[in-house]
Amino acid sequence: MSLPGSLLFRRGPLPGPIIPLQPESPAPAADGGCASAPVLRERGQREVFCGLTGIVWLHRKIQDAFFLVVGSRTCAHLIQSAAGVMIFAEPRFATAILDERDLAGLADANDELDRVVQRLLERRPDIRTLFLVGSCPSEVIKLDLSRAAERLSRQFLPRVRVLNYSGSGIETTFTQGEDACLAALVPTLPSAGASAQASSLLVVGTLPDVVEDQLAGLLERIGVPRVDFLPARRSSAAPAIGPGTRVLLAQPFVGETVRLLEERGARRLEAPFPIGIEGTTAWLEAAAAAFGIGRSVVAEVTASARARAQRALERQREVLQGRSIFFFPDSQLELPIARFLARELGMRLTEVGTPYLHREHQAQELAWLPAGTRLSEGQDVERQLDRCRADRPDLTVCGLGLANPLEAEGLTTKWAIELVFSPIHGYEQAGDLAELFARPLRRRALLAV
């Protein structure tokens, strides 16, 4: 096992496992919204990145953590090319590469791992939390990273806590990597004392610092007494959890984390996601209501930000209004974004695909989607391509591997991964989010002249 010293770049989707299953055919929803709409479930070949991708934003967010992938050269290439960080910049991630000797069982991978961790922690005294991140190869050779994490924690606590999670491509989609990482953190969070009960809000899901600061500022001005974020920027700021903790989701892909928080007594607040003006307002209202604060306070505090966002959206509405859009499944953010594009920008939704649909967490989003929207969960990429070609949408949101072939067929595409790597939540980002969809349409119009 070794730590790579050079940078290699590679782009492209990683194939997932093939689980053939006949899809159920949906009928259009008769009522308003898609709350009880049927969902086309597909379990065929899918085109998404694996859970290691989450390290790209998690390593930026948790400033005293380090992510050590235990995997192959392919895993190293994926992370390094996706993160675009130079090795001499001392990034907070690396790959311990399993070589032929490890894979053939000729070397004890645990001994090798212990040596790599020892060397890493000597070189990087700033690390407080070390994540051992499992991959397809480490799972194939059944390297037990949870036992390794326990063993190494015993050795390095209290200076460094060692945790583990899986980022392998066997999971449904790449945002599950964040869910697995946050779920690994939950047992380490302190318990809230009785005095802290009924007085804290926990926002779950990684947001860029600038967005987190904006939302924290709004929540503070609204009067929410205490707001914490998971993940916290530093391990010393880890939030305490208890029956008084109210959980508000910033991202739709944290299902397992929420389940573990609920097991510790926390309660999830019903809300849409803070995407667009409407979603952000309802999200803030849900937080306010949990602390007995009325909607009028939210309206007053957010008035200027909403007005700014409205002005920013007007420009993009001219391009997007009435245009049709098709979503291939990618990040689980598809529903809130589709809802925003339909309700605030007047786009027509043809199909909204999502890798996994958590009906409870997405209840408000489903209710807000226009009735008759075709919803699909999972993927059978060839069938979905056929539906997309039949629809001929004005804009197709898809992974990198599908974008070029579809462009060659005359369809206009948007890379779905940009929606995860760009700040898109909250009022100040609403215009930028709309711009991400307007830009390819403008470009296509210019090329057509």
* Total residues belonging to the chain: 449
377 within 8 A of 357, measured Cβ to Cβ:
yes
- Which residue among 78, 293, 301, 342 contacts ligand SF4 (CB under 6 A)? 78
Phi, psi of 159 (to 5 degrees): -70, -45
Among 169, 231, 252, 336, the residue binding ligand SF4 under the rule CB under 6 A is: 169
Q: Are 441 and 319 in contact (CB under 8 A)?
A: yes
Q: Is residue 279 within the footprint of ligand SF4 (CB under 6 A)?
A: no
What does the block give as tokens for 146? 């949870």
The least distance separating ligand SF4 from the CB of residue 133, rounded to whole angstroms, comes to 9
Q: Enumerate residues 6+ apart whose C-beta is below 8 A from 351.
A: 326, 327, 373, 374, 375, 376, 384, 387, 388, 391
Of the candidates 48, 62, 66, 71, which one interacts with ligand SF4 according to CB under 6 A?
A: 71
Judged by CB under 6 A, the chain residues 135 through 164 that form the site for ligand SF4 are: 135-136
Region binding ligand SF4 by CB under 6 A among candidate stretches 74-82, 117-125, 282-290, 308-316: 74-82
Q: How far is the CB of 178 from ligand SF4 (least distance, A)?
A: 15
| Complex with ligand SF4: residue 14 or 186, whichever CB lies closer | 14
Binds ligand SF4 by CB under 6 A, chosen from 39, 44, 74, 129: 74
Contact flags string 8-47 toward ligand SF4, x per CB under 6 A: ------x---------------------------------
Q: Which of these segments, 69-77, 236-244, 255-263, 417-425, binds ligand SF4 (CB under 6 A)?
A: 69-77
Shortest approach of ligand SF4 to residue 174 CB, angstroms? 9
The residue nearest ligand SF4 at its CB is: 169
Strand pairing class (47-48; 14-15): antiparallel
> Interface residues for ligand SF4 in 321-350 (CB under 6 A)?
none
CB 79, min distance to ligand SF4, A: 8
Q: In whole angstroms, give the CA distance from residue 448 to residue 277.
A: 33
Contacts (Cβ under 8 Å, ≥6 apart) of 2: 96, 97, 99, 116
270-273 CB contacts, 8 Å cutoff, 24+ apart = 270/363, 270/364, 271/364, 272/336, 272/339, 272/364, 272/365, 272/368, 273/249, 273/333, 273/336, 273/365, 273/425
Could you tell me which stretch among 23-31, 167-175, 301-309, 439-447 binds ligand SF4 (CB under 6 A)? 167-175
Which of residues 1, 34, 39, 52 is near ligand SF4 by CB under 6 A? 52
Does 68 participate in binding ligand SF4 (rule CB under 6 A)? no
The token pair that represents 444 in the structure block:
């296509």
Alpha-carbon distance 319 to 130, whole Å? 46
Instruction: Of 241, 244, 121, 225, give the one whose Cα is nearest residue 190.
Output: 241
Q: Which of 80, 129, 168, 172 binds ligand SF4 (CB under 6 A)?
A: 168
Binding segment for ligand SF4 among 66-74, 120-128, 198-206, 262-270 (CB under 6 A)?
Answer: 66-74
One-letter amino acid identity for 154? Answer: R
Which residues contribute to the site for ligand SF4 (CB under 6 A)? 14, 50, 52, 71-72, 74-75, 78, 135-136, 167-169
